[in-house]
C-alpha cells in the first residue's frame, strides 16, 4: 500500500528512533517526508498525538505494520529536515524544531 501511493526518492537522515526519507505522493506529486519509526511503542504514541489534531498540516497518512515499525508520511517536506524534525527524531507540526 505504501509503495503504491508514494515514491521514496532519497534517504535524508537517521535518528535514534527513526529514519527520514524524502519522497512524493504519486496521485498529485506533492512532496512528502517518510518517517520510519523503529521502536513500536514510540510511534504509536506519536500517531495518537497526530490523530488528535484536526487538520494536522503535516500529516498525510500513517501506516501501522503491526510489527516493530510504523511509517508516518508527512506533507510539504522542506528542503531541510531540520525545520521539521528535531535531533531526537520528533516531528514539529509548526516547524519549530
Closest by CA position to 12, among listed 64, 61, 63, 83: 83
Res 97: pLDDT: 42
Task: Return the percentage of the chain with pLDDT > 90, whole number.
Answer: 2
Report d(CA 14, CA 28) in Å as an integer. Answer: 27
Per-residue pLDDT of 21-41, as tens digits, reads 888 888 998 888 888 877 665
Res 93: pLDDT: 47
| Residues of the chain falling short of pLDDT 70 | 1-3, 39-44, 47, 49-97
Average pLDDT score, the chain: 68
Across-strand partners of 21? Answer: 11, 34
Amino acid at each position: 500500500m505504501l509503495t503504491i501511493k508514494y515514491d521514496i526518492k532519497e534517504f535524508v537522515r537517521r535518528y535514534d528512533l527513526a529514519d527520514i526519507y524524502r519522497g512524493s505522493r504519486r496521485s498529485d506529486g506533492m512532496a512528502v517526508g517518510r518517517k520510519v519509526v523503529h521502536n513500536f511503542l514510540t510511534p504509536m504514541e506519536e500517531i495518537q498525538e497526530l490523530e488528535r489534531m484536526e487538520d494536522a498540516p503535516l500529516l498525510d497518512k500513517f501506516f501501522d505494520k503491526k510489527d516493530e515499525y510504523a511509517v508516518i508520511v508527512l506533507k510539504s517536506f522542506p528542503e531541510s529536515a531540520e525545520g521539521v524534525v528535531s535531533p531526537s527524531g520528533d516531528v514539529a507540526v509548526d516547524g519549530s524544531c
